[in-house]
């Protein structure tokens, strides 16, 4: 519905052409901006109420101390698979998890899997590549999130989060009167949600401007020439050149179909798609406000290596 409304505004009311670069770029920007701002406000309000009603510190300590051997990461990955978000849209919920005291490794499991898998993408995969490839891709996306988040969680990287993110849970707990009613808490919860939005909004805007320009002006086959079936480093090259691009899984699948049709190995094409939807420059800009460069580099590096390994395995088994 929102996509149709923003499309009508850009193409029918303003009159920009769907074939031009500017029209699709502006449509992309408006649609994602409205969606992300709405999600950010909704989730920060929700987590504000959660923090005011539930013993978040006890939940956090329970998850940190209890040995679940990665089960919590698997659950977070499955949750990411059923949420229909792209990499940038996943970040508000990522912030909400951190705000709610969820350990960082578990939040990373969600952040890795969420953009890779959704029901629309899986339906398209089945129609284009069949059940075998779809099942392998689904399992790989879940494993990437589970294992990647678990490994990142072992390093206890919470100190690399931005100060305002680390302080969110404490501020939320201190700013809301736990004896007040549901509606009485709204003012304090809403004030904190608006503060978070104000802090993140410039980075959201910058990231979506870049994403819109890529979406509108970078031709579908722009990078295809650089991914050669005969290149022994094709998977690594595919992942590296995919990072500057930005789209969701549903938008990337037709590109992957075209690459496979040109003779590019399916594992290389799938790695290219995973890198497009799971890692992007707009996502990096948003995450830069949430974490320092060290953690951002560790996150991107870990996920990129995992995607490369998946691509090589795909090329062997498919």
| Segment 145-154, tens digit of pLDDT | 999 999 999 8
- pLDDT computed for residue 195 by the predictor: 77
Number of residues assigned to the chain = 318
Q: How confident is the model at residue 232 (pLDDT cuts 50, 70, 90)?
A: low
Q: Identify the pLDDT of residue 193.
A: 77
pLDDT at 174: 47
- Give the long-range contacts of residues 195-198, CB within 8 A, separation 24 or more: 196/40, 196/44, 196/95, 196/168, 197/37, 197/40, 197/41, 197/44
pLDDT given at position 198: 80
Query: pLDDT grade, residue 87 (50/70/90)?
Result: low
Name the band, by pLDDT with cuts 50, 70 and 90, for residue 116. confident
Q: What is the pLDDT of residue 21?
A: 81
Q: What pLDDT, in 10s, does the model give residues 161-214?
A: 888 777 765 554 444 455 556 666 777 778 877 877 787 777 678 767 876 776
Mean local confidence (pLDDT), 48-61 = 59
CA dist list (Å): 239 to 91, 109, 148, 298: 21, 20, 17, 16
**pLDDT tens digit sequence for 270-314:** 898 888 888 887 788 888 888 999 999 999 999 999 999 999 988
> Mean pLDDT, to the nearest integer, of 231-259?
76
Domain boundaries, the chain: 2-317
Look up the pTM and report it. Answer: 0.73
Confidence tier at 74 by pLDDT (50, 70, 90): very high
Own/partner contacts of 293-302, CB < 8 Å, gap of 24 or more, are 294/160, 295/157, 295/160, 295/161, 298/152, 298/155, 298/157, 298/160, 299/108, 299/152, 300/243, 302/148, 302/151, 302/152
Query: Quick one: pLDDT band at residue 139, thresholds 50, 70, 90?
Result: very high
Mean pLDDT of the chain: 78
In this predicted structure, the answer to whether residue 3 has a pLDDT above a threshold of 80 is yes
DSSP bridge partners of 161: 291
Q: Which residue has the higher pLDDT, 226 or 290?
A: 290
The residue among 52 and 139 whose pLDDT is bigger is 139
Residues above pLDDT 90, as percent of the chain: 15
Task: Measure the CA angle with vertex 18, ends 28 and 22; round to 5°.
Answer: 55
> Each residue of 117-140: b (16+ CB within 10 Å) or e?
bbeebbebbeeebeeebbebbbeb
């Amino acid at each position: 519905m929102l996509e149709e409304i923003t499309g009508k505004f850009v193409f029918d009311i303003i009159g920009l052409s769907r074939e031009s670069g500017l029209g699709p770029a502006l449509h992309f920007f408006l649609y994602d901006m409205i969606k992300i701002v709405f999600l950010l406000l909704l989730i920060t309000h929700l987590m504000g109420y959660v923090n005011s009603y539930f013993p978040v510190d006890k939940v956090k300590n329970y998850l940190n101390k209890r040995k679940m051997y990665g089960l919590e990461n698997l659950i977070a990955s499955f949750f990411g698979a059923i949420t229909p978000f792209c990499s940038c849209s996943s970040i508000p919920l990522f912030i909400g998890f951190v705000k709610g005291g969820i350990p960082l490794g578990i939040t990373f499991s969600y952040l890795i899997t969420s953009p890779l898998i959704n029901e629309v993408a899986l339906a398209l995969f089945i129609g284009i590549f069949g059940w075998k490839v779809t099942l392998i891709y689904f399992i790989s996306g879940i494993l990437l999130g589970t294992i990647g988040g678990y490994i990142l969680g072992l390093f206890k990287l919470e100190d690399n989060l931005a100060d305002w993110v680390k302080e969110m849970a404490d501020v939320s707990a201190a700013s809301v009167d736990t004896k007040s009613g549901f509606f009485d808490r709204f003012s304090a919860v809403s004030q904190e949600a608006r503060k978070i939005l104000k802090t993140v909004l410039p980075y959201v805007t910058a990231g979506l401007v870049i994403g819109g320009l890529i979406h509108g002006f970078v031709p579908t086959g722009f990078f295809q020439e650089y991914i050669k079936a005969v290149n022994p480093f094709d998977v690594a090259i595919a992942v590296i050149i995919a990072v500057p691009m930005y789209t969701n899984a549903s938008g990337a699948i037709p590109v992957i179909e075209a690459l496979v049709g040109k003779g590019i190995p399916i594992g290389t094409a799938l790695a290219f798609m995973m890198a497009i939807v799971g890692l992007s420059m707009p996502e990096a800009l948003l995450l830069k406000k949430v974490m320092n460069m060290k953690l951002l580099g560790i996150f991107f590096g870990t996920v990129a290596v995992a995607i490369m390994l998946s691509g090589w395995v795909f090329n062997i088994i498919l």
